[in-house]
Amino acid sequence: MAYDEVLADRIRELVGGGEGVTEQKMFGGLAFLVNGNMAVAASGQGGLLVRVDPAEADDLVREDVEPMVMRGREMRGWLRITAAAVDAPDQLEQWVARGASYARSLPAKR
C-alpha cells in the first residue's frame, strides 16, 4: 500500500516551509523531518506515524493510537495513529505539532 498523498499534502501544509523541514520517502511512506529528525510521516500502511517523547508515549495510547512496531519490536517514542483519528483538521494539527515539537527538541542531525 502506498502512502496517502492527500494526508501527506495536509501534513505538508502544517509543517512545510518551516526552518529545517525536509521530506524523505522511507518505510513505504513519506516522512517529514525537522533538522534531520523524523517528526511525522504519512505511513505506507495507512494513517500517521508520529515521534513523541518516549516518557509520554504510554499516556497517549488509546483505541486509535498504538505504539509503532517494527520487525516485531515496539519502537519507544513512536506512535501509529489511524487515518480515522486524523480526519478532522484539528486532530491532524495536534499530532503534527506534537511530532514537530519533539523533533525540534532533539539535537540536529547533519
pLDDT band at 110 (very low <50, low <70, confident <90, very high): low
- 8-64 pLDDT per residue, tens: 999 999 997 778 999 999 878 999 999 999 999 999 999 999 999 999 999 999 999
Return the domain boundaries, the chain: 5-105
Helices in the chain by DSSP H: which ranges?
Answer: 5-15, 54-60, 89-105
- Residues 24, 5, 92, 13, Cα dihedral to 10°: 70
The CATH code belonging to domain 5-105 is 3.90.1150.30
What pLDDT is attached to residue 19?
A: 82
Of the candidates 56, 64, 66, the one whose C-alpha atom is nearest the C-alpha of residue 98 is: 56
Grid cell listed for 86: 486524523
Question: Residue 98: phi, psi to the nearest 5?
Answer: -65, -45
**Residue labelled with grid coordinates 518551516:** 18
Q: What is the pLDDT of residues 49-103, one digit of tens each?
A: 999 999 999 999 999 999 999 889 999 999 999 999 999 999 999 999 999 999 9
